[in-house]
Amino acid sequence: MKLPRDLSGDDLAAVLRKLGYQVTRQTGSHMRLTTQQNGQHHVSVPRHNPMRVGTVGGILADVATHHQITRDELLQRLF
C-alpha cells in the first residue's frame, strides 16, 4: 500500500490516536506522541504541512515495529 501524500503532522497525530498515541509535549515545530499499548513508546512528529513522504514512512515504520506488525498492516488499520 502506498503512503499517503499531502499529510500534515497534525493529520498524522490524529490518525495515530487510533493506536492510543497522545501528544505528551510540543517543542517548537515538533510534537512528541506517546502510547502505553504494547509497552510505552514515543515518537516525534514534525508539525510540517505537508510532511515529506520519507519522514512519514520512517515514523510509520517505527510505529509498526513497536506494534509488531508490518507497515502494510499498519497502513490498512490507519487509513
Query: pTM of the predicted model, to two decimals?
Result: 0.93
Whether residue 1 is contained in a domain is answered as no
Q: Give domain status of residue 2, yes or no.
A: no
Assess if residue 61 is contained within a domain: yes
Range of the domain at 29: 9-69
CB-side neighbour CA atoms (13 Å) of 49: 3
79 within some domain: no
The per-residue pLDDT string of the chain (79 residues; one tens digit each, 9 = 90 and over) reads 889 899 999 999 999 999 999 999 999 999 999 999 999 999 999 999 999 999 999 999 999 999 999 999 999 999 9
C-alpha cell at 78: 490507519
**Structural element, H or E, at residue 57:** helix 53-66
What sign does the CA torsion over 41, 77, 18, 28 have? positive
Domain count for the chain, please give it: 1
